[in-house]
Amino acid sequence: MQLPTSLNPATFQNALVTASIGRFLLYRQVLDSTMVLAAREAREGAPHGTIVFAEEQTAGRGRRGRSFYSPAGQNLYFTLVLRCPVEVHRRLPLIVPLAVCTAVQAEAPAARIKWPNDIWIGDRKVAGMLIDAELSATGAVALPGIGINVNADPTVVPELRDIATCLARELGRPVQREALLARICNELESLLDEPPGHVLHEYRARSSTLGRRVLVSPVGGEPFEGTAVTIEDDGSLAVRRDDGSMESVTAADVSVRPLF
């Protein structure tokens, strides 16, 4: 099945059941980064739930300044403008990946969250996200930037061949991007109203990290190995070191070790 190479905004918005998330869409064929334009729009008053979407990014940004694979017309690259109460704003590092994972699971039930905010299928990454925040006169504005490998196979890139995948590759068929994007918006708006305990429970249930051996590389610290024990209330990862001591990990690269 040949899918169109441009997102159909009407098809996307017809699949929404939200009051605000996704209702205002800024669509571009090419951007350097959706996060850059979303930050500018937020400073100019873009309403809560605005989506900045691009068919292609020329300077997509991953964690720690890494580039993000962004071919044209086949994947999802977008940034949301979220204006939430402070208590909800603090939970976004759990809410956003949970919304994305739950939406992806409708197509690929094996999808899981690799702490803190990547979505993996098996041992390959299918989606990643960053959450920037800015202060405005009316409070904090969160800018979750999300990239999902939907129909473009990243294994054609040598450095991604063994670590990344896309939904079409995993499922053996293309996936309609409009439906997936709408599901993410629907899930996100619903989760913004859920109590913290529910969000934490659902995030833990979808974790691919808990119970696994991990290599933790803290920012500015020495790497260490241990076992991921739980996700704490604030979203940090509790790791039991090999000497039995517990470490609360907040800012680090965490590599999940093979099961055997």
Q: What is the pLDDT of residues 164-204, one digit of tens each?
A: 999 999 999 999 999 999 999 999 999 999 999 999 999 99
Residue 8 DSSP symbol: -
Mean pLDDT, rounded, for 79-97: 96
Q: Strand pairing of 51-57 and 25-31?
A: parallel
| Rounded distance between C-alpha atoms, residue 122 and residue 80, angstroms | 27
- Position 72 scores a pLDDT of 86
Give the pairing of strands 76-80 and 25-31.
unpaired
Model confidence, pTM? 0.93
3-state secondary structure of 173: coil
Q: For residue 66, is pLDDT > 70?
A: no
Largest interatomic CA distance in the chain: 56
* Per-residue pLDDT, 3: 54
Phi then psi dihedrals of residue 48, to 5 deg: -55, 130
Q: Averaged over 78-104, what is the pLDDT?
A: 96
Average pLDDT across the chain, whole number: 92
Domains along the sequence of the chain with CATH:
9-205 (3.30.930.10), 213-256 (2.30.30.100)
Number of C-beta neighbours around residue 79 at 10 A: 30
> Angle at which helices 92-105 and 196-205 pack, to 10 degrees?
50
